[in-house]
Chains A and B, each alone.
Chain A
């Protein structure tokens, strides 16, 4: 319990302190230190969960499913903060943002981490909603940090679309609470997930079915499912790069986590009706459409960050599809994919930040000859994209292979769609990547000071996960799989 408290309170304290801290030189360091503390506490929490099975109390509940996401969130938060310290200092030195903007940035970074961790650890569906909405509020000012017309537009779009989406999710939450009141005696416990899950079979199916549609559309907006994805490429491309890394690596995961938790409730409620897999089928549909559409859109992109945000939509679509497919194999694959996608994508965004520094633009056509100019950045980008495109021996290959196997088992004809989607996305990524990393460098393009440590750690981990998944992690994911589907894989 103590570890959980530190995990949650460290970002809050950090946000408050960073909002008032004057000397800007320290803010970056404090930000990193707070993130490190959060990560240490989350590791301790993971240790407790590994020993006790779950840590619960005060309407918090950490089990095998969310603890690995907690650790992942804290870890990516830490590495991104290491990257963001020098990066944001340059941004400030070049006058793209003011000192006040920097204070907002650091405070909101920690506030965002807090909302993510709160959403993951809470056992209350209402608090989950509040936290996910809080994540929008914390990041929306960061998207417009540079105050260009594009940035303001992106932020407004982000705010309005996610606000509306999340409002629909609240309606779904109200309906869930309504269904719970007929079942759960204590009204105050009517939104507690674990209690609802225990009695999911008694929840009124017609209400839960309706609720799930609203919840899926609501949280799905945040996952970036097509057609509610419009905000995502804009917010990613116009916001500061560290923000793109955490949005892609963490926020989308947390929203998907919420969808999966709710699917577990709805599945229990609908089990005895004529359409027991309604929730799963909806997820599969939305997931597959997002996967294919985003893959096609990859080809048309001209902005490098925009391109990788479409790649995020594509991968979130794949995971949504896999969770919808259900079954131990697909779920295990999806959980693993969440992990490797976060690590790879945040590494890519960090590299892209450096690449945009080198070329002085985010326009793909003008980023050329990265390997010649600065091999570390060029090779990182190449390897990162190879990893995200699903090349062996990286971890994304493993998880995508598991997903394909699972699809072939239960819905063989959909394998065709998946494989062609993967091929389309691969082609889309590489047709843009190739001229960017190879070829001669333009005149006057020089290397920049880049801290590639976070990228190396992330890609190293992804490589490790591709070669051999350590036993404790496999056991962890297996317990999460058992929690979600009711059956072990290993």
Chain B
């Protein structure tokens, strides 16, 4: 497939989409939280730009609206909320120590190749354009997922989650010229509510483990031995204690 034969606007969309993918890599390896949030804001802005260009190319007016919605939500509101949260959590200067950053990046490259391989069967669809864009957005989704795996910090995981949403949005806009409006609004609403809830959880997690390193959330396990130890030695109860103490009080209350 020769990309040069595509209409100019479609080529422009591809360039922007590639930049979105690039910001995914930036997000993945950015250890400073504040900078990572900025990278995420850029990604949201680029996704909105893609939407605008697709709207201009296809002449569908409702896409302008969703471009505006994306810009407001992904490039302004959510980064602002995250900024406020990390200020309140006093994490502005937090730098996460990444484990094997080079390996994580290499794996992300593999994910991009895998995405292209996955869409290969879509040959009958005449479009080199669509295939590219679906592959890129799938790669953004998978890198977001990968980011949630390799990063231990809760805020960084949320950034990964939100960049997955960006990838999904990119797919919806560029492969299908946007989902029906009611769906788009519903998804935006869900994302916003999810962000608010994530904020609530940052505080709950910090309250319970005194840090936002979610690797330390490891009380619930399948290993029976550990739980048995907790049940036997009442001096160091692991998980049976809180649930045990409270219903007991409940039963007495009756």
Which size bracket describes the interface of B in this complex? Answer: 35 or more
Which single residue of chain A is at the shortest CB-CB distance from B201? A156
Does residue B1 face the partner (Cβ distance < 8 Å to A)?
A: no
Q: Please state if B244 and A360 are interface contacts (CB–CB under 8 Å).
A: yes
Residues of A within 8 A of B236 (CB): none
A444 → B minimal CB distance (Å)? 10
Residue among A94, A124, A149, A160 making CB contact with B148, cutoff 8 Å:
A160
Q: Please state if B208 and A178 are interface contacts (CB–CB under 8 Å).
A: no
Residues of B within 8 A of A163 (CB): 161, 194
Which single residue of chain A is at the shortest CB-CB distance from B125? A204
A144 touching B201 in the complex, CB below 8 Å, given contacts A130-B187, A153-B217, A167-B168: yes
Which single residue of chain A is at the shortest CB-CB distance from B223? A300
The distance in angstroms between the C-alpha atoms of A358 and B252, with both chains bound, is 9
Does residue B35 face the partner (Cβ distance < 8 Å to A)?
A: no
The distance in angstroms between the C-alpha atoms of A90 and B167, with both chains bound, is 46
Q: Please state if B247 and A188 are interface contacts (CB–CB under 8 Å).
A: no
A350 → B minimal CB distance (Å)? 15
Residues of B within 8 A of A95 (CB): 249
Residues of B within 8 A of A181 (CB): 176-177
Which single residue of chain B is at the shortest CB-CB distance from A182? B125
Q: Please state if A154 and B220 are interface contacts (CB–CB under 8 Å).
A: yes
Q: Describe B's contact surface by its main secondary structure.
A: helix
Mark interface residues in A68-91 (1 if CB within 8 Å of B CB, else 0). 000000000000000000000011
Q: Please state if B124 and A297 are interface contacts (CB–CB under 8 Å).
A: no
A90 touching B242 in the complex, CB below 8 Å, given contacts A174-B168, A297-B222: no
Residues of A within 8 A of B (CB): 59, 90-91, 93-96, 124, 126-127, 129-130, 133-134, 137, 140-141, 144, 146-150, 152-157, 159-160, 163-164, 167-168, 170-171, 174-175, 177-178, 181-182, 187-188, 190-191, 204, 206-207, 209-210, 234, 237-238, 297, 300, 302-303, 356-363, 365-366, 446, 448-449
25 contacts between A and B (CB under 8 A): A94-B249, A130-B183, A130-B186, A130-B189, A130-B190, A137-B197, A141-B197, A147-B207, A150-B219, A156-B205, A157-B220, A163-B194, A171-B137, A171-B141, A171-B171, A174-B168, A177-B179, A182-B125, A204-B124, A207-B122, A210-B119, A297-B222, A358-B251, A362-B243, A362-B247
Residues of B within 8 A of A (CB): 118-119, 121-125, 130, 134, 137-138, 141, 145, 148, 154, 157, 161, 164-165, 167-168, 171-172, 175-177, 179-180, 182-183, 186-187, 189-190, 193-194, 197-198, 200-201, 204-205, 207-209, 214, 217-220, 222, 224, 227-228, 231, 239-240, 242-244, 246-251, 253-254
